[in-house]
């Protein structure tokens, strides 16, 4: 439910909701109610009656002419987390240092292979641009990752996850420091971007990483269903 649909920003909020629903394989005709709520100051998304807000409220920006306040719509990923909770899916947060290779690939694989039971999310300590070989090797197994963006783990500080899996190698295992709740699992994988042969055989190393992750991470999540 999105309240205050008369505000121009409600359209952006509805688009984010549609993207989150698509990522969770929800049908586009899933019943959504747009309510007139003149007592609500700004557009607000409610899932099962619970308001969906970002973890860190916005402080800057120009007030909306319709609402008179600064809009602070939640990120698509936060909406997707709330929807996954409402659908009764288990949630997993995959972490690595840059959210450019390992955690991005693990998130995409889990959602592709186990999306009926699990909703996977990912983040990094130092977000970097998604590495191009990741897009190519995921395409080989039917996953379109062209529009994926790196995310900082702070985005999810208000979310609870059933499982939090850190993927950093033993050399940079500081990515285990995420303070959220959930079962903790450290599954180290080497980052192909840090290989001494960087630039040579990148696709092969990334493909091997994909296959190893698809086997080990999916098997682990299946074991705790």
Contacts of 178 (CB under 8 A, 6+ apart): 93, 95, 123, 153, 156, 164, 166
Angle at the Cα of 90 (from 89 to 92), degrees rounded to 5? 130
How many angstroms separate the CA atoms of 120 and 151, rounded?
13
**Which position among 7, 67, 96, 159 bears the catalytic label?**
96
From 7, 67, 159, 168, the catalytic residue: 168
What is the widest separation between alpha-carbon atoms in the chain? 61
Q: Is 159 a catalytic residue?
A: no
Report the distance separating Cα 179 and Cα 205, nearest Å. Answer: 31
Q: Catalytic residue numbers?
A: 96, 168, 175
């Amino acid at each position: 439910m999105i309240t205050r649909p008369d505000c121009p920003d409600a359209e952006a909020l509805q688009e984010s909701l549609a993207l989150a629903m698509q990522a969770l394989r929800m049908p586009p005709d899933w019943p959504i109610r747009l309510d007139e709520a003149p007592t609500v100051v700004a557009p607000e998304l409610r899932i099962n009656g619970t308001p969906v807000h970002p973890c860190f409220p916005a402080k800057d920006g120009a007030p909306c002419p319709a609402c008179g306040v600064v809009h602070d719509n939640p990120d698509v990923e936060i909406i997707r987390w709330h929807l996954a909770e409402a659908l009764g899916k288990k949630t997993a947060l995959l972490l690595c240092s840059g959210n450019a290779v390992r955690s991005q690939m693990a998130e995409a694989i889990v959602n592709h292979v186990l999306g009926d039971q699990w909703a996977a999310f990912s983040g990094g300590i130092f977000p970097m641009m998604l590495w191009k070989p990741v897009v190519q090797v995921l395409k080989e197994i039917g996953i379109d990752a062209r529009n994926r963006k790196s995310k900082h783990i702070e985005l999810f500080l208000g979310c609870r996850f059933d499982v939090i899996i850190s993927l950093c190698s033993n050399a940079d295992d500081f990515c285990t420091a995420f303070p959220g709740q959930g079962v903790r699992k450290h599954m180290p994988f080497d980052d192909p971007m840090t290989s001494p042969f960087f630039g040579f055989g990148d696709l092969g190393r990334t493909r091997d990483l994909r296959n190893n992750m698809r086997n080990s991470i999916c098997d682990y999540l299946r074991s705790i269903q």
